[in-house]
Amino acid sequence: MFVVFPRLGTASGRSAFNMGKREHNETREVPDEQPSTIRAAVAAIAQEQGESAEDLAHLVQVNDYRYGAKGQVTFNVNAPGSNVTYGTAYATCQIFTALKVDGRYFKVDEVHL
């Protein structure tokens, strides 16, 4: 999966002006397309980038890859009691089947004959 965090550093609900709000993009292998697997991978990346597990406890999926844009899953996080809101989601993931060769990923698409 390829994940874009447009507002990494904001999971605590504190103002982004007081935190290091930044964008982060990363490709990560996941064993399946289950929402719980994808959420766990998103949370793991966010923690590796400095977010706390406690703040990420409120990370929720806001669409389903079967119903949103093809292969896309979006997550948001808003801390309870926070008066800070954002116009963008916390993380958007593109889920795709790929082959890995020498550390490079190649998307795989079915060809209909």
For residue 17, the SS3 value is helix
pTM score, whole prediction: 0.83
pLDDT tens, residue by residue, 55-97: 899 899 987 655 556 788 999 987 666 767 777 889 999 998 8
pLDDT at 103 > cutoff 80:
yes
Distance between CA atoms of residues 44 and 39, nearest Å: 9
Q: Can you give the pLDDT at residue 64? A: 60
Q: Can you give the pLDDT at residue 85? A: 73
Could you give the dihedral angle defined by the CA atoms of residues 14, 20, 24 and 28, in that order, rounded to the nearest 10 degrees? Answer: -70
Give the CA distances from residue 97 to residues 44, 73, 110, in Å, rounded to whole numbers and listed in that order. Answer: 20, 14, 10
The average pLDDT across 1-8 equals 91
pLDDT tens, residue by residue, 34-53: 989 999 999 999 999 999 99
Q: Can you give the pLDDT at residue 88? A: 84
